[in-house]
A and B are shown apart, each in its own frame.
Chain A
Amino acid sequence: DSGVTQTPKHLITATGQRVTLRCSPRSGDLSVYWYQQSLDQGLQFLIQYYNGEERAKGNILERFSAQQFPDLHSELNLSSLELGDSALYFCASSVTSGTYTEAFFGQGTRLTVV
């Protein structure tokens, strides 16, 4: 158990809908990362938050947004969903942000868009 909790574990929704994925980092970790993993794309970095502030941005679509709350949990919002958004979404957390970063991953949320 990594200590990172993601909910829900599975999500099935229709195209055009909006969903929210939730992540609780390990106790004491200030950084939260979101990744998308699909079969043909590998693990793609979406966005990182550090202590409530956006720190780094990757290949995140405009339809996607995220935030980190004062209690350090994070949510990833996906809207106007398309079939191609079906993937595993992982959250990871780490103590530090910067050069020495060891990330601990949650179990992921498997999103299926039908």
Chain B
Amino acid sequence: TQLLEQSPQFLSIQEGENLTVYCNSSSVFSSLQWYRQEPGEGPVLLVTVVTGGEVKKLKRLTFQFGDARKDSSLHITAAQPGDTGLYLCAGANTGKLIFGQGTTLQVKP
């Protein structure tokens, strides 16, 4: 069974702080995606990484795919209250899109 483990599960920080969320697996994925979900809404795709070692930036968010394509990280610089939400990583392989349990981020003003 392919599993994606995210850490930490919960994170509460002050506005302006930096943070990193990790997504780890023992399996290799063809691609890995990060989503953000707000309460009562569906997850929204932030980024897809495909190549081992790949780094993508989306404003204050930096995403990295591990060299072996088994893990990924999401780094947020100078977090803002608008970044509050559930961050999910998802790995794609053989037609399935498997999600991690998510990291709940709260950014306090």
Contact = CB atoms under 8 A, between A and B. Distances in A.
Contacts of B101: 42
Bin chain B's interface residue count: 20 to 34
B95 A100 contact: no
B99 A42 contact: yes
B92 A100 contact: yes
A105 B43 contact: yes
Interface string A32-56: 0101000000111100101000011
B101 to A, nearest CB: 4
Contact of B95 (A48, A102, A105, A110): A48
Bin chain A's interface residue count: 20 to 34
Interface in B94-108: 94-102
Interface in B55-94: 88, 90, 92-94
A67 interface: no
The residue in A55, A98, A106, A107 that gathers the most chain B C-beta atoms within 10 A of its C-beta is A98
B33 A102 contact: yes
A113 interface: no
B45 interface: yes
Interface of A: 2, 4, 33, 35, 42-45, 48, 50, 55-56, 58, 90, 92, 97-108, 110
Interface of B: 30-31, 33, 35, 40-45, 48, 50, 88, 90, 92-102
20 contacts: A43-B43, A43-B99, A45-B97, A45-B99, A48-B97, A58-B96, A90-B42, A98-B30, A98-B92, A99-B31, A99-B92, A100-B31, A100-B48, A101-B95, A102-B48, A103-B90, A105-B44, A108-B40, A108-B42, A110-B40
